[in-house]
Amino acid sequence: MYNNRLKEPFIDKFIEAILLLENTEECHRFFEDILTISELKSIAQRLEVAKMLDKDRTYTDIATETGASTATISRVKKCLNYGADGYKLILNKVQAEEIHEE
How confident is the model over 1-57, as pLDDT tens digits?
566 777 889 999 999 999 999 999 999 999 999 999 999 999 999 999 999 999 999
Domain-wise residue ranges, the chain:
35-101
Q: What is the pTM of this model?
A: 0.86
Instruction: Decide if 54 contacts 73 (C-beta within 8 A).
Output: no
Distance CA 102, CA 53 (A): 23
CATH 1.10.1270.10 fits domain 35-101: yes
Residue 67 DSSP class:
-
State the average pLDDT over residues 55-68: 97
